[in-house]
Amino acid sequence: MLLILAAFTFLLSWWLMPDPGTTDTSHILQIVKQSRTAVVASVIIQILSSILYILAMLMIVKIISPERTTMAGITLLAIGAMGLCSDAFFHLLAWFMTDNSVTIQKDVIQVMTFMQTDALLFLVPILLPLLFGSLVLAMGLNKQKIISNKSKIVFTTAFVIGILSAAAGKFHLYNGPSPVFGILALFAGGQILMGIEFAKTTRELPLQYKSNKIIIQVNH
């Protein structure tokens, strides 16, 4: 349930953000100024989402005994949750810089340009694990026979679309709307599917633990 809520709030936070994926400073300031209420709501929900991801990973560790691949996915997702939370503060800065009390001038543009270029070198390495971790976790849970390979297929499809769209953009083969939100929606959908299957498979685990405790007490 926690993973499902985390994925839902993740998708909601990006749905509230205008034109996700853009890095053009002037364009960002313009669209954020036009949607300030939605942006600050997105920031709050994104921070909540990162907390839910961490809690979900802790709960998975508590419920099952993760094997190596599963544990790697849990670790990557936890790191990605930190990146997701950090990214929220990037958005919060953009929201503040579009306040009427702030004059859009050269220094403000310079700060935002830094946040959308050099600062991403600090953010991206801890944000991408949220996506890679989803695939690795799905592979691990599938290997442990806890979920099917459906979410793994969804995540793989999202990566393929992301790679193809990036290549198309680089070689100027596509100039249409950014597919970033669609790709993020696929990841969120895969996580929701993974959460549903995980909950269904592990629903009886607490009863098994209780039974084991009873057996141990009888043996003693």
DSSP per-residue codes, 84-120: HHHHHHHHHHHHHHTSTTS---HHHHHHHHHHTTTTH
pLDDT per residue as tens, the chain (220 positions): 899 999 999 999 999 998 887 767 878 888 898 999 999 999 999 999 999 999 999 999 999 999 999 999 999 999 999 999 999 999 999 899 888 888 767 778 888 889 888 999 999 999 999 999 999 999 999 999 999 999 999 999 999 999 998 888 777 777 767 789 999 999 999 999 999 999 999 886 554 444 343 333 334 4
What's the distance, Cα to Cα, between the start and end of the chain in Å? Answer: 36
pLDDT at 204: 67
By CB atoms closer than 10 A (0-12, 13-18, 19+), residue 157 is middle
| pTM of structure | 0.87
pLDDT score for 91: 92
Give the pLDDT of residue 137. Answer: 97
Structure confidence by residue, pLDDT tens digits, 154-198: 999 999 999 998 888 777 777 767 789 999 999 999 999 999 999
Per-residue model confidence as pLDDT tens digits over 116-128: 889 999 999 999 9
Using an 8 Å Cβ cutoff, are 16 and 42 in contact? yes
Question: In the prediction, which pLDDT does 211 show?
Answer: 39
3-state SS, 54-81, equals HHHHHHHHHHCCCCHHHHHHHHHHHHHH
